[in-house]
Amino acid sequence: KAAVVNELVDLLCRREREQDENQAIGLLVKAYQETREYRYKVRADDIRMKQLNRQLRVKMEAGDPAEAKEQYKEKLRYELKVFKDRLRHYPSDMRLRYEYGRRLFQAKHYDEAIPILQEARSDPKTRIFCSLYIGQCFYKKGYYDQAIETFLEAIKGHEISDDELGRQLHYWLGRAYEEDGQPDNALKIYGQLIQWDYNYGKGDV
């Protein structure tokens, strides 16, 4: 049964046509209801998230910021629900914890995001990314000392200083120094950033 369902879903999703994808989602939901095997629901949700991402891309390309913003909110609401549900089924999966925490940050739920991302740091593959979001949560809440400490620790643990992740960590460290009333430290960090990329942050630096 599983092989037949998966094969049908593959065929329906091949052309990325929404009508066919909706049919695939219907098949997967039915299989989940009949068997209670969670992997069917996971795949159905994956297809729906892909659709929402595609719809957002179309709205952005159409050049209507208001429409794109509403589409982004819908996408984020759905993804929050999906990853919260997945964590309920797989509570020890730190990658899922990171994905949920990242979306909590995007939804500006900083108090909820911080502990989730702190737990997710136990996965070495996402540790530095978790720290980037945790630091930004502290920054958004006005806890600049904690933000600075988080960014400094992450920079120390990140091997490639000037890759995109390294630059983001330095950028937010500079911002935190600036807001904390440490302009000399902020200028030092910004100076390093413009050596790497003069137009970093679209010239904001």
pLDDT tens-digit readout, 86-134: 999 999 999 999 999 999 999 999 999 999 999 999 999 999 999 999 9
123: DSSP letter: S
Whether pLDDT at 6 is above 80: yes
Over range 65-73, report the average pLDDT.
95
pLDDT of residue 152: 98
pLDDT of residue 205: 83
3 state DSSP class of 197: coil
Q: What is the pLDDT of residues 173-192, one digit of tens each?
A: 999 999 999 999 999 999 99
Q: How far is CA 68 from the centre of its chain?
A: 18
Over range 157-174, report the average pLDDT.
95
What's the CA gap between 63 and 48, in Å, rounded? 23
Considering the chain, what percentage of its residues have pLDDT values greater than 70?
A: 100
Over range 44-73, report the average pLDDT.
95
pLDDT of residue 118: 98
Q: Read off the pLDDT band of 2 (50, 70, 90).
A: confident
Q: Are 176 and 151 in contact (CB under 8 A)?
A: yes
pLDDT of residue 180: 98
How far the first Cα of the chain sits from its last, in Å, is 57
Structure tokens at 35: 């068997």
Whether pLDDT at 1 is above 90: no
Q: What does pLDDT average to over the chain? A: 96
Burial status of residue 17 (CB atoms within 10 A of its CB: 0-12, 13-18, 19 or more): exposed
pLDDT of residue 202: 78
